[in-house]
């Protein structure tokens, strides 16, 4: 069963809950692993990465849910993705997300492409991602996100079709900010199926994410 969520926010950026409560709520819903991925740019990346990595290091190793340190590079001038991703990786961040060109927010043009050229792991809600950028995601091994997040999920079907067409990797995420966003793994999988995923593709996503987290 698909039971990962590598896109979750806390009150370290614009979420409602402490990282600990986010983890406990995901565990209660049946998840095996999550990543704390609060929003970052030049204004906050130093204290944010320090706080998230410290939380990760102190999280009990015998916990029933694994918690990975991450960030979401958000609404950046596109040229800043490379230096900020490099900094985050150096500081110990394991999951680097780029805030993609969702159709529900005013995201700067070429964000998808320049984010994909940086050292990121996931391109979140990439909107009407182009053929060229999908091929780049495939080449660089970056996951394209299928999301349960309201608004951002409007283009899930397009993202799935693009990934299928070019062989890019997909990931299912909640992009949670509040307790109400933390849906069960079964509900998350159902959203993926509704957007066009097959059961075989869900199994492939599970294996790809499992392999990624083993690195």
52-88 pLDDT, tens digit per residue, is 999 999 999 999 999 999 999 999 999 999 999 999 9
- Residue 191 tokens read as 């959203």
151-170 pLDDT, tens digit per residue, is 999 999 999 999 999 999 99
pTM confidence score: 0.98
Helix (H) or strand (E) holding 96: strand 95-99
Q: What does the alpha-carbon distance between residue 161 and residue 138 come to, in Å, rounded to a whole number? A: 13
Pick the CATH number of 4-214 from 3.40.50.300, 3.40.50.970, 3.40.50.740, 3.20.20.140: 3.20.20.140
CA angle 123, 169, 144 (to 5 degrees): 20
């Amino acid at each position: 069963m698909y039971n990962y969520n590598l896109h979750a926010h806390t009150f370290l950026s614009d979420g409602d809950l402490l990282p600990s409560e986010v983890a406990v709520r995901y565990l209660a819903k049946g998840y095996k692993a999550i990543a704390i991925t609060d929003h970052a740019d030049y204004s906050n990346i130093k204290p944010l990465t320090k706080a998230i990595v410290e939380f990760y290091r102190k999280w009990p190793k015998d916990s029933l849910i694994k918690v990975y340190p991450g960030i979401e590079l958000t609404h950046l001038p596109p040229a800043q993705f490379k230096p900020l991703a490099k900094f985050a990786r150096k500081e110990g961040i394991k999951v680097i997300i780029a805030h993609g060109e969702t159709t529900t927010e005013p995201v700067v043009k070429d964000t998808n492409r320049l984010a994909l050229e940086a050292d990121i792991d996931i391109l979140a809600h990439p909107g009407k991602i182009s053929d060229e950028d999908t091929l780049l995601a495939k080449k660089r091994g970056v996951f394209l996100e299928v999301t349960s997040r309201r608004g951002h999920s409007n283009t899930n079907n397009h993202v799935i079709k693009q990934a299928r067409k070019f062989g890019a990797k997909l990931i299912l995420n909640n992009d949670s900010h509040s307790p109400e966003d933390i849906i069960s793994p079964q509900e998350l999988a159902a959203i993926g199926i509704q957007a066009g995923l097959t059961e075989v593709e869900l199994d492939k996503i599970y294996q790809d994410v499992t392999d990624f987290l083993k690195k």
